[in-house]
Amino acid sequence: MGAEQHPPLLFTNPFCYEPHPWVKQAAEEVVDYLRSVEEWQEEISRGKMFGVLMVRKQDECQQKHDGNIYFLAAFSGFLNGENDMAYFVPPIYNLMTSKYFQEEQTRIESLIEQKQERKNRSEALQDWLFEQYLCRNARGDEQSVMQIFKDYYAAHTLKTENLERNAQKHHIPSGTGECCAPKLLQYAFLHHLKPLCMGEWWLGNSPKNEVRHEGVFYPACHNKCRPILSFMLQGVTMEESKTERENKKLIAACRVLRDTEDYVVIDKPSGLLSVPGRTDDASVRDWFVSRYDKNTYYPVHRLDQDTSGILIIAKNETAYKLLQQQFICYTVKKTYIALLDGEVEVDEGTISLPLRPDFDDRPRQMVDWEHGKRAVTDWCVLERKEGITRVAFYPHTGRTHQLRMHAAHQDGLNAPIVGDRLYGKQTESTRLCLHASMIEFDDIPSGERICIQSQAPF
Q: Is there a domain that residue 63 lies in?
A: yes
Say whether both 438 and 380 belong to one domain. Answer: yes
Query: Which pLDDT tens digit goes with each residue over 20-53?
Result: 999 999 999 999 999 999 999 999 999 999 999 9
- Report helix, strand or coil for 441: strand
CB-CB neighbours of 313 under 10 Å: 23
Neighbouring-strand partners of residue 328: none
- pLDDT over 60 at 144, yes or no: yes
Q: Give the pLDDT score at 68.
A: 80
Query: Which pLDDT tens digit goes with each residue over 154-165?
Result: 876 444 444 444
Query: Which pLDDT tens digit goes with each residue over 384-442?
Result: 999 999 999 999 999 999 999 999 999 999 999 999 989 997 655 579 999 999 999 99
Residue 170: pLDDT band (50, 70, 90) is low
Say whether both 225 and 250 belong to one domain. Answer: no
Mean pLDDT rounded to a whole number for the chain: 90
Q: Is 442 considered catalytic here?
A: no
Say whether both 250 and 204 belong to one domain. Answer: no
Q: Give the pLDDT score at 276.
A: 87
| CB-CB contact of 152 with 231 (8 Å) | yes
323 CB contacts (<8 Å, ≥6 apart)? 263, 300, 312, 314, 441, 444
Q: Is there a domain that residue 255 lies in?
A: yes
| CB-CB contact of 200 with 184 (8 Å) | no
H/E stretch holding 122:
helix 115-132
Say whether both 182 and 286 belong to one domain. Answer: no
- pLDDT over 60 at 305, yes or no: yes
Q: What value does the mean pLDDT take over residues 130-145?
A: 96
Question: How many whole angstroms separate alpha carbon 152 and alpha carbon 91?
Answer: 22
Q: Give the pLDDT score at 28.
A: 97
Q: Is there a domain that residue 31 lies in?
A: yes
Residue 234 has, within 13 A of its CA and on its CB side, a CA count of 15
Say whether both 327 and 403 belong to one domain. Answer: yes
Say whether both 372 and 407 belong to one domain. Answer: yes
Number of domains observed in the structure of the chain? 2
Cα angle, residue 158 at apex, residues 152 and 162 outer, rounded to 5°: 95
State the catalytic residue, choosing from 267, 304, 306, 358.
304
Query: Which pLDDT tens digit goes with each residue over 269-292?
Result: 999 999 987 677 899 999 999 999
DSSP codes joined into one string, 257-288: EEE-SSEEEEEEPTT-BSS--SSS--BHHHHH
Q: Is there a domain that residue 108 lies in?
A: no
Question: How many whole angstroms separate alpha carbon 351 and alpha carbon 341?
Answer: 18
Q: Which of 240, 236, 239 is nearest to 55 (CA)?
A: 236
Using the 3D structure, point to which of 204, 232, 260 is the last residue of a domain: 232
Q: Is there a domain that residue 8 lies in?
A: no
| CB-CB contact of 23 with 52 (8 Å) | yes
Q: Which of 173, 175, 136 is nearest to 48 (CA)?
A: 175
Full-model pTM: 0.73
Using the 3D structure, point to which of 232, 261, 284 is the last residue of a domain: 232
Q: Is there a domain that residue 237 lies in?
A: no
Question: How many whole angstroms separate alpha carbon 398 and alpha carbon 83?
Answer: 41
| CB-CB contact of 14 with 183 (8 Å) | no
Q: Give the pLDDT score at 58.
A: 67
Neighbouring-strand partners of residue 202: 49
Exposure class string for 327-337: b at 16+ Cβ within 10 A, else e = eeeeebebbbb
Say whether both 63 and 145 belong to one domain. Answer: yes
Query: Which pLDDT tens digit goes with each residue over 192-245?
Result: 999 999 999 999 999 888 899 999 999 999 889 999 999 999 999 998 765 667
Residue ranges making up the domain that contains 195: 21-93+133-232
Say whether both 277 and 227 belong to one domain. Answer: no
